[in-house]
Amino acid sequence: MKKTFALLGLLTATAAFLPGCATEDTGAFVPVNTTVNDRENHEPIVLMTARVQVSVTCSGIQVRTLEDGRLEVNANIRNREGRRIQVQINCEFKDDQGFVTEAETPFQNLILTENAQETVHFVSLNNKAKRFTIRVREAH
């Protein structure tokens, strides 16, 4: 019996000196790398893949506010290659703070012949849009 109490006391004393499950949590965390790959927040047009970047460029964007307050955007999309290509393009309309004001426009197919340029036209659905991002991706 004395041995049991002695062993129990020794175990208790030893446990007091062992580290517990210490964590380094300090509560909530802030986002990291918020400015990495955020081109859609700052640029009027983004090319979604490196292959599209090689094939397509934008030679000009025209922005106009219509009489009813909606935003109209025209973009000249140019094929940089000597072959016919097909891409998909859409436009996200955003408010002053960069938040999307409406459901994004569906991607539409754009076929560009060799070294050709086409003008793509977008109009916002409401008058809340103040900014926009045109997105171009590969067509599969």
Distance of alpha carbon 74 from alpha carbon 61, whole angstroms: 6
What pLDDT, on the 0 to 100 scale, is given for residue 123?
Answer: 95
Which residues of the chain, if any, have pLDDT below 70?
1-23, 25, 34-37
- Indicate the residue type of 27: G
What pLDDT, on the 0 to 100 scale, is given for residue 43?
Answer: 86
What pLDDT, on the 0 to 100 scale, is given for residue 50?
Answer: 92
Distance of alpha carbon 66 from alpha carbon 124, whole angstroms: 10
Query: Can you give the three-state secondary structure of 49-105, one letter per residue?
Result: CHHHHHHEEEEEEEEEECCCCCEEEEEEEEECCCCCEEEEEEEEEECCCCCECCCCC
Predicted TM-score (pTM) of this structure: 0.74
Distance of CA 135 to the CA centre of its chain: 10
41 CB neighbour count, 10 Å cutoff: 13
Yes or no: say if 45 and 56 are a contact pair by the CB < 8 Å rule.
no
What pLDDT, on the 0 to 100 scale, is given for residue 47?
Answer: 94
**Residue 111, SS3 per DSSP:** strand
What pLDDT, on the 0 to 100 scale, is given for residue 19?
Answer: 61
Domains of the chain, earliest start first:
43-138 (2.60.40.3230)
What pLDDT, on the 0 to 100 scale, is given for residue 104?
Answer: 72
